[in-house]
Structures are given as structure tokens and as C-alpha cells.
Amino acid sequence: MSNGRGDSVRVERITKRYGSKTALDDVSLDVAAGEFISLLGPSGSGKTTTLMSIAGFVLCDSGSIVIGDRSMDGVPAEKRGLGFVFQSYALFPHLSVARNVSYPLEIRKLPRAQIKDKVREALDMVHLPESEYGGRMPESLSGGQRQRVALARALVFEPRVLLMDEPLSALDRRLRETMLLEFRRLHRELSTTIIYVTHDQSEAVSMSDRIAVFNNGTIQQVGTPYEIYNSPANEFVAHFIGEANILPTSSYRGDGVWLATGPGGEEVAVPGSGVDIVAGAQYSLMVRPEKLRVVPPGQGSLTGTIDDVVYAGDHRRIRVQTPVGMMFVKADDTAAGATVVRGAQLDLGWEVADAIPVQRQRAG
């Protein structure tokens, strides 16, 4: 069940309602020991409620949480032994940095000398030397330093699972990137299981072993960042991770050809993968903007009128109005010699394997 210093976490069919609103609807998730998993989704999707349930801050109406091989039924938060890093850092403002970090050790009644050593090690680990920062008060630290202290405090008692709730969302972009690298390094060094809640897809993609995508209180898909990006389970996932062109279809004609349907009901045959489709389900085709190519006139799968062009240095973003809807293209500068200006005609092509069937979202 455990590997190195991480524990597995099993979330079994948890449901949580607040009044008439369902925050979590029968959510199950298996996190392997030592894994770095991100819970990704928009606000109100249930990712934070899931994290809070694991931590013991939220009690579910049904379902259970198992950490390692221990059921958490009836175990209060303070007995779960999990590290938790808050978006707000949640440092104790009346205690110095060293006292904040020693807090969990004092509760565990460790000998003073051992506490001193462990505090020093934990602060070293987050690059805040105890000699310099130990005596500082939290209010005198920058946001990034506070989050480092919070991290040291959450790790100093060597929890086997670390829960993080949007720990970087209060920091500016540069600092976020630095901290991301820090988190990865710490995860490598400690091999603690990390469950990381974020609404930022780039954070999730760059750090996680796996990502669980949440929406409307349910998990839409669990997979590696590669799987999530390249074979999203449905339109929501396709839209949420990266950019996606979605073409509603009416049917698969076989041989890599789909019938796409436009807003007016007109049908256009377009290339698309037929792998893994289930009879009876409604599909849309998803094509990533970078997989679309500008091709010479007459050779494309779809012809449209350029609606807008944005120059972005190493590429151009072209918005094309086609019979099956607006398409976004990320094109390099060569663009097959076509005239890329607003109003011009443009032919678009793509590989069969690059148009991936995704389950249509049910309305509502």
C-alpha cells in the first residue's frame, strides 16, 4: 500500500450536498502511493470539496476515504496525519517562522533538541535558512516566502500524503514558475503522495503524474497529461485542457470520414479518427489548433473565410469561419503561400488521427 514515504489514497463513491446543491456526485478516485495527482476543474466543480473530504475538513453524506490501508471513517482531521498547504498560506500570524514550523512537532511532544533539528532541516529544504528566517514574523515575509514556510510546516512532521489547495494562485507568474519547480523537486526527493488542487491547466499539465478533471461535481476523466490532452473523454475535457476546435458530427461514415454538421444543419464530410467509438453515442470531432494546417487551395478538407489574424511572434493565430463553425488555427509563418488577411479564403487540412472523436456533452 505504501512505497517509500507515500501512502495510497482511495476515494470511494463520495457524495456531498449543500442544501439542494450537489457539490460531489458519486466521486471515486484512486491515487497511487507516491503519485503526484492534480485535481483540475473550474470553480465549483468539486475539486476542492474532494480535497477537503480527504483532509477531513468536510464530511461527506456518503462514501468513504481510505488512506494507506486505513479507513478514514470517523477519523477527525487532526488524527489523519496529512500535510495541507492552503491558498492563503494560513501561517499563524502571532508565531515566528520557526514557531510556525515547530507547531506540529510541539503537538507531537518531540524532545526540544529534535524539534530544533527538524525545524532547521525543513526550512533548509525550502531554502529559508533558519538562522536568517527562523525569528522573522510571517507579516515580514513576501508571498513566496510565506508559501515556503507553509510548505515547510506541512512537511516537517513527514506526512505520507500532502494535500495542496491552489497554493500558487496568490503569487505572480514568475514566482509561480519557480515554486512549481520547487514542488517537483520536493516530490522527487520525498516521494510523498501529493494531491494538488488547481484551476490552472498549465500547472496541472506541467507537474502531475496524472490529472483528474472535474466538472459539476463529477470526475470527467483521469489520466496522464498526455492522455488528457490527446484523447480527451468528452468536449468539456477537450475545452478545459488546451485549446480545441469542436466539430459536431452526425455520423461516422467509416474509413476515417465523418459527417460534420454546421449550425444550419448542412453536412460536410471531414477526416477524423474512428478509433474507440461506441455505437449509439453522440460524438464531436476535436482538432487542436496546432494540428490544423493551411494547405494550397483545393487540397483542404474545409474551406473558410478568414475572420481575424493575430500575430504572436513564433506563430499566427487565425480565426476562420467555415461551414461547420468557427475554427482556430495556430499556423507557422510559411502558411503554404496563402494570403493570410481578413476576408481571404483559406483551405484547412488535417490528419485523420488528429481529429479525435469526443463524446458530445449532454445539454444542461
Partner 1 sequence: MLARISNRLLLVFLVAFLAAPTIAVVIVSFGNASVIQLPPKGFSLQWYGKVLTDPAWLAAIGRILMVSLLAVILAGTAGTMLAFAIARGGLSATTRKVFQVAAIFPLAIPPVVIALGGYTMWSRLGITNSIWSLVPLYAALGCPFVFLSALGVLEKVGTDLDQASASLGATRSYTLRRVTLPLILPAVLTGCGFALLTCMEEIVIALFLLGGHSETLPLKIYASLNFGVAPDIAAVTTLQIGLAVAVAIAGAVWSWLRQRRRQLVSHGEIDHDE
Instruction: Give the residues lining the site for partner 1 (CB under 8 A).
Output: 55-57, 76-84, 86, 88, 90-94, 96, 98-99, 103-104, 107-108, 112, 116, 134-137, 140, 153-154, 157, 163
Nearest to 335 by CA among 357, 364, 306: 306
Compute the distance between CA of residue 313 and CA of residue 53 in angstroms, rounded to an integer. 45
Shortest Å distance, C-beta 48 to partner 1: 12
**Minimal distance, residue 119 CB to partner 1, in Å:** 10
CB nearer to partner 1: give 82 or 219: 82
Q: 18 vs 44, 55, 217, 299, CA distance in Å?
A: 12, 18, 12, 55
CA distances, 190 to each of 103, 196, 257 (Å):
21, 16, 49
- By C-beta, is 75 or 257 nearer to partner 1? 75
Minimum CB distance to partner 1 smaller for 5 or for 99: 99
Minimum CB separation of residue 31 from partner 1 in Å reads 18
> Whole-number minimum distance, CB 256 to partner 1, in Å?
52
Shortest gap between Cβ of 248 and partner 1 (angstroms)? 43
Q: Dihedral sign, CA of 45, 46, 51, 56?
A: positive
**Closer residue to partner 1 in complex, CB, 82/306:** 82
C-beta closer to partner 1: residue 161 or 338: 161
For the CB of residue 177, give the shortest distance to partner 1 in the complex, in Å: 25
Q: How far is the CB of 86 from partner 1 (least distance, A)?
A: 5
3-state DSSP of the chain: CEECCEECEEEEEEEEEECCEEEEEEEEEEECCCCEEEEECCCCCCHHHHHHHHHCCCCCCEEEEEECCEECCCCCHHHCCCEEECCCCCCCCCCCHHHHHHHHHHHCCCCHHHHHHHHHHHHHHCCCCHHHHCCCCHHHCCHHHHHHHHHHHHHCCCCCEEEEECCCCCCCHHHHHHHHHHHHHHHHHHCCEEEEEECCHHHHHHHCCEEEEEECCEEEEEECHHHHHHCCCEHHHHHHCCCCEEEEEEEEEECCEEEEECCCCCEEEEECCCCCCCCCCCEEEEECHHHCEEECCCCCCEEEEEEEEEECCCCEEEEEEECCEEEEEEECCCHHHCCCCCCCEEEEECCHHHEEEEECCCCC
C-beta of 115 vs 329, nearer to partner 1: 115
Q: How far is the CB of 118 from partner 1 (least distance, A)?
A: 13
Q: Looking at beta carbons only, is 125 or 285 nearer to partner 1? A: 125
Rank residues 83 and 217 by Cβ distance to partner 1 and give the closer one: 83
* Residue 7 CB, nearest approach to partner 1 (Å): 15
Smallest gap from Cβ 100 to partner 1, in A, equals 9
C-alpha–C-alpha distance, residues 30 and 183, integer Å: 21
- In the bound state with partner 1, the residue whose beta carbon lies nearer, of 36 and 103, is 103
For partner 1, the closer of residues 80 and 210 by Cβ is 80
